[in-house]
Amino acid sequence: MAGFEIRTSNSKKGKAMFSTKKFDLGDVILEEDPLISCQFAWNQAYRYLACDHCMRPLETPEQNVRRLSNKPDIVLPYSDSFEINLDTITNCGQCGVLYCSEACRQLAFVKYHNILCYDTSDAQHPITVLLEAWKQMHYPPETTSIMLLVRILAYIHQSPDPPAAVAQIKQFCHRTVNEDAELVHKLLGEQFRSQLDMLRELTTNVINVDTVQEFLTPEGFCTLMALVGTNGQGIGTSPLAMWVNAVTDLTMSDDERQQLDLFIDKLYQYVEEESGTFLNTEGSGLFALQSACNHSCLPNAEATFPFGNHRVQLKAIRPIMAEEEICISYLDECALQRSRHSRQKELAQNYLFVCWCERCMSQAGQPDCTSEEEMSEEEDADD
């Protein structure tokens, strides 16, 4: 028994996930591979080596930190506590794209890569042109990728039953055309308003087949862009982070632990000085089940990626009773700690809804000002 079910409500929330049994703290609610996933364009441009299908890192923690810090002599202690098998790495015989295994290569080819395989050194290829245009429109930190959208179109076309694949994609949509347009502009910036048609034209140059024509119209493209922006789940995999997690669990003396903590702090300092805050092989994916989880500022579950690839694990972060809605936070930990007004402002800007979760309702009497405004008022009072 799955322990959860997805229901469609008549409210603005659309789909929602509810528990059908009790989950205790730490229980796994579900594990799921995405329908489609891909690495962010800028992340790939910064040479974060990952499987083109599942985003599993293709370098060891030591190789990862040496490259990111530009310090080729760094040696990681306890390196045998976490290992990445690089012996199974393979590539596409046509375009040379790397995969962590033959299984990933075959799966990618069958799902979407066949129609998207191209010479990556060709600066004039439609995919290269599209990616460069996207990067100029959408600087890091990225929240989605144009290639996720392109892979969705390829997935539909390569499906044995394209109409069924279209219906599968449409299950993620539950907004009006006007809401989609507003959402795209807020997600990607006001400057994107005049560039959406250009992006649609460039995407059409990449894949222009009968099976996906409804998504290449102005309205259809906007809907698909909004779908990717709101339903895409961020994915992060990092050899360095996985090594840190592994050595944190090791048994050692207090002195050894202190020395290790100092060493880890120094590593992250080196990386930040050389590569900024790009620490993960980041991307996004479209998950059929996990995407049904709505937001709460008092979430009872969280999405994690413990397998070092794009497979998501949804875990209970507090006890969940049967018939309780399973919710995650769409905000990061920092934003989640801010005032009700700040949280609602960010959610309204990025997701077009006003949150009325238990926490927001309990804080309804708070003043309507952002955390920054509150801090500014406190500083003025101190002066």
Per-residue pLDDT band for 374 (boundaries 50, 70, 90) equals low
Distance CA 52, CA 163 (A): 26
Angle between helices 162-170 and 146-158 (to 10 degrees): 140
- Local confidence band at 381 (pLDDT 50, 70, 90 cut-offs): very low
Q: What is the pLDDT of residue 106?
A: 98
Q: How far is CA 116 from the centre of its chain?
A: 21
Per-residue pLDDT for 377 more than 50?
no
Q: Which residue has the higher pLDDT, 313 or 139?
A: 313
What is the residue-wise DSSP string for 281-330? EEEEEE-TTGGGPEE-SS-SEEEE-TTSSS-EEEEESS-B-TTPBPEE-S
Residue-wise pLDDT for 184-199, tens only, equals 656 555 556 677 888 9
pLDDT at 3 > cutoff 90: yes
pLDDT above 60 for 376: no
Pairing of strands 90-91, 98-99: antiparallel
What is d(CA 26, CA 356) in angstroms, rounded to the nearest whole number? 26
Which residues, 6 or more positions from 128, have their beta carbon under 8 angstroms from its beta carbon?
118, 120, 122
Residue 5 DSSP one-character state: E
Q: What is the pLDDT of residue 370?
A: 58
Per-residue pLDDT for 127 more than 70? yes
Helix or strand run (H / E) with residue 62: helix 61-69
> Which pLDDT score, from 0 to 100, does residue 114 have?
97
Quick check: 11 pLDDT over 60? no
pLDDT, tens only, 243-281: 998 898 899 999 999 999 999 999 999 988 887 765 666
Whether the pLDDT of residue 179 is over 80: the answer is no
Query: Distance between CA 91 and CA 298 in Å, rounded?
Result: 43
The strand ranges marked E within the chain are: 4-8, 15-19, 28-32, 36-39, 90-91, 98-99, 232-237, 281-286, 294-295, 301-304, 312-316, 327-328
Q: What is the pLDDT of residue 188?
A: 58
Q: What is the pLDDT of residues 319-358, one digit of tens each?
A: 999 999 999 998 888 888 899 899 988 887 767 678 888 8
The conformation of residue 112, written as its DSSP 8-state character, comes to: I
Helices 61-69 and 239-248: crossing angle in degrees, nearest 10, is 120
Q: Coil, helix or strand for 11?
A: coil
**DSSP bridge pairs for 7:** 16
The average pLDDT across 68-79 equals 91
CA separation, residue 345 to residues 114, 140, 307 (Å):
42, 21, 34
Q: Which region among 44-58, 91-105, 169-183, 271-285 has the lowest average model confidence (pLDDT)?
A: 169-183
Whether the predicted pLDDT of 129 surpasses 80: yes
Q: Are 349 and 64 contacting, i.e. CB atoms less than 8 angstroms apart? A: no
Say if residue 298's pLDDT is above 90. yes
Q: Is the pLDDT of residue 160 over 60?
A: yes
User: First vs last Cα of the chain: how many Å apart?
Assistant: 61
Coil vs helix vs strand at 165: helix
352 or 65: whose pLDDT is higher?
Answer: 65
Task: Report the range of poorest mean pLDDT among 49-58, 99-108, 221-230.
Answer: 221-230
pLDDT at 189: 58
